[in-house]
Structure 1
């Protein structure tokens, strides 16, 4: 069995929440999370962008960085990076050679195993700082076994309600679970109900909670006003950690060279082709607000696919008003939303059309028919990543 087959075999039928399996696996690996200078980020939208900003700035300042994010776009290796570069298969093989039996013994899930590999490798590589993106929620997420030097919470909105709870307060409670005693926590301006939950949790954990302002940087490659919130959060965390020397010059240089794939990623300028993994109502709304400022002389097309249980009904009118044609498709992986169901959520509008099971050939052919002044936006599930990589001949390995 090769690496990918083994990792896929660990994927549970249901998401496994709780720390018991992760703690057991960490113990078998020598507890690499202990003594590791980590920053943990949680939230509904923007946590990956905050992690990417932090990693790029610290790397530019001369520090050796570890970055753990999820999900990946094309290769599982993208989830774990050293100095911005995805790890190679040999590192995964080495971990599994040493601790594969422990993975099986602890009944660890795919995500718990990948998290353990990240901690183990970051400790082995002696990174100066590890930037850790929470997988789902926070309180019971396996990343939360880390011992952070700071935590950050991005925009909290309704998502994964079947797991995290059916109210914004319940979801906020789960996200707040990353707070640690006497470890500073930072967040953006939130819904008042969300902020009340976060403040109460901070008091219970005897940790400071700072609500930060947005920060604008016109030279960054990150598009959209929502990224100002993410930048403000990242900068506040950096300013609080005096053990790291980061200058304004480092920040300016990092923001100019920052890459974060799948976040309003411009794949072509003529015709305009954009790839964005906004995959819930809040993420798609942020994408639409950014795209609405584009000057497109030709026709505007949207290719969209989502995972099941994603409710984007509150963005449907804005979406339909913005595009001339909406192609509803599906990436047939676990828990995908059928194209007909997606079209139903868009009111079966005359602008919508079903494209069952998108292929490389279909996308290549569609792009060839575009006029130079047209625009195509590929939006939704991260599982578009493999298609994008194949059609545009690009890799997501190096930041």
Structure 2
């Protein structure tokens, strides 16, 4: 959505196609500002699943998408092109790399297209190099690891554990095979275009970007001014911003685990009590369904004092991360959160959940050295004592803070005039206009 709004700011008419399921969630979360002033028009098509189906079952979702959405997207485009004498005719299709089948639709309709990778260039490279990983004996023909242990796509890149290959840590083996096959089909569809855009920068991932001449960094894709966002799946609780205004500079621990992570009750209790042990103010994002679909009002530990913390169901994350009261970011290490935290010079405490998040943690802790990970105890939990220990260690390390600020400067220089991301995006805009 940030990419779409950036294009709209250059004068292009943008139609953003959601699934019906996500479209309804976005419309329920939308602000009045977004309803009246949005530059991006929303449309939607079914994803092939019923209202009772679990969209967190990614294998089932992949199968439904491929059997349903391509033909429906084609019909939607033809319908739009037939309206108002063709004044809003679709001329180009941009797709999330995980929806690259849309480029096959574009090709069928005689249109140009491009793909945008919402994860790191390294994860994009792993998907693109799937056949090479098979050739090198790391994966079998079904995408499962042959070897146990670590490998590198390139000598200068962080090591990756074979158990952390994205499709190898989602569900059971049947699901993993379905997801791998889907990813390889998206890989094939990606070759319908030479524009492989990545929400990253040349300083963050030089080796990953060098693995394909098609990779074009255009990040960070972020909102740097007040805008009317259409991209939220939950309504943002803006009260956290006024609460942050009341906190001292660099004092608040921000804790958010994205849109997928689900904690069990014991782990959530340890997290909450660990944050209390730090004796620091904290802002914690807890979605309504975070803990076994319980109501958030009933999920806090017995005796939770809550005198230092602010808990919300969803936060305006970019505004939170740029607030001067923030000291650090406890994150699941999703790529959007990673980019946003880095762009604000924040040190990380890494708590990955699944898929690419484990490799993002390796970048944060081992390559860029701007964060720390947590250790799991004999019960399989991150204890309250461990939470306090790592917060104290992170915030007591001035060198780590200095590296975070230096990385912020390098990242932000990319989108300034003359920066690599700026120049790549400018070339892309020129290509669209031509």
The answer to whether TM tops 0.5 is no
TM bracket, shorter-chain basis: 0.3 to 0.5
Structure exhibiting the larger radius of gyration computed from Cα positions: 2
Could you say which structure has the greater relative contact order, defined with CA pairs below 8 angstroms and 6 or more residues apart? Answer: 1
